[in-house]
Structure 1
């Protein structure tokens, strides 16, 4: 497949602030997520947050927020959505179907960074195995 994209991937970071995070902790984690995205070669175009007691079981975010994200993805020509929160395989599929772009979570992002940085053959194989194990149910 030919990749015609020039420049870094345009990324929207979505994050649900649950009761487990204080506002200060949440901001630190969001800043870290932006740094991780840039380390992986992405450009954070938009950050969308929502405060909920717990993740929505279908899409992590509420239906209204999902509509807002879908509009931003189209308007800002977003290539990739990264969720700060861990996504179940069904959440991931539902988000990709609704947003029509690739959706990954923080764990996948970190595994991708490890894959980019692995140098030895053994290191590359270990990272590939970890990625396959993580992606298997998806």
Structure 2
């Protein structure tokens, strides 16, 4: 199951790094950058999170919030935030319900082993909660700038 571009994303609620329940609908009226990543503290995920951190202010100026989602537990998210000074929310999707909704929970192969995990992907929602852009099978380099530029070019001033 995948969400189609131009359609409203169903509301969901997941715990954040502090154990507080956060719903997508909490951000109505803002652009939402939902980025799904495989695992806290790994090299690619750390690079991506730090890139979002370094451009956080630019996203905020465009009225956009950044939300990271992975299957890691809340406590691990908090350590990741503390270690890298991340200024945005990380949500814990341990049962991958939201990852399934966005069709990013995939069979992966690594060194001959098969397992299920997150396919690195980013989704941009408009201020009404409609999916307006998706980046699947993301390569970390320059990805954050691509997302930022998309919002710059498509935001209502």
* TM-score over 0.5 (shorter chain): no
- Between structure 1 and structure 2, the one with the greater Rg is 1
Query: Quick one: higher RCO (CA 8 Å, sep 6+), 1 or 2?
Result: 2
Structure number with higher strand proportion = 2
Q: TM-score band, normalised by the shorter chain? A: 0.3 to 0.5
